[in-house]
Amino acid sequence: MERERETAEGTTVPRFLIRDRDSKFTRAFDGVFVADGTRIITTPIQAPNANAFAERWVRTVREECLDWMLVWGRRHLERVLGEYLRHYNDQRPHRGLALRPPMGIALGSVPSAVAVTDRVRRRDRLGGLVHEYYHAAA
């Protein structure tokens, strides 16, 4: 399913905006998005856990990445988030997935213990902010 669409100026416009029912979101706020053709979807009434997964991911990306660096602009933010997203999905172990990354499940990988004698190398991402460890060829 397509999430964004291209405009005549070459920019993308989101198809959906998912938000809660907080009073800080006024009709004028919604009107800006509706004018661009974006559909507003609000979370259910009295359902505090409806947005829990998104809020958890935002908290994780802030604590592990954005709180530790100074972002200079939109292009820089997109690059940083893209790099962190690749790390998050390809390398970062997730406790709910038996310490496998989400992409590792699709590949059928099984978590394994690292022997003490194995050579383990470190790959730095985001200028050394995030470290990934892997087995080096013997």
Region 111-123: what's the mean pLDDT?
Answer: 65
**Does position 11 have pLDDT exceeding 70, yes or no?**
no
Q: Which of 28-32, 84-88, 124-128 is least confident? A: 124-128
58, part of any domain: no
User: Tell me, what's the pLDDT at 2?
Assistant: 42
Instruction: Give percent of the chain above pLDDT 90.
Output: 6
Residues whose CB falls within 8 Å of the CB of residue 138, separated by 6 or more in sequence, listed in order: 119
1, part of any domain: yes
Task: Note whether 102 and 89 are within 8 A (CB).
Answer: yes
11, part of any domain: yes
Question: Tens of pLDDT along 24-58?
Answer: 888 998 999 899 889 998 888 877 777 777 788 88
**Does position 70 have pLDDT exceeding 70, yes or no?**
yes
Q: Model's pTM, two decimal places?
A: 0.54
Region 70-86: what's the mean pLDDT?
Answer: 89
55, part of any domain: no
Q: Tell how strand 12-14 and strand 4-6 pair up.
A: antiparallel
What is the b/e burial string over 123-137, where b = at least 16 CB atoms within 10 angstroms of the residue's CB?
eeebeebbeeeeeee
4, part of any domain: yes
Region 72-94: what's the mean pLDDT?
Answer: 85
42, part of any domain: yes
Q: Which of 19-23, 81-85, 91-95 is least confident? A: 91-95
Domain membership of residue 39 as a residue range: 1-48
17, part of any domain: yes
More confident residue, 42 or 104: 42
**Does position 122 have pLDDT exceeding 70, yes or no?**
yes
Task: Note whether 43 and 50 are within 8 A (CB).
Answer: yes
Identify the three-state secondary structure at position 92: coil
105, part of any domain: no
User: Tell me, what's the pLDDT at 39?
Assistant: 92
> How many independent structural domains does the chain possess?
1
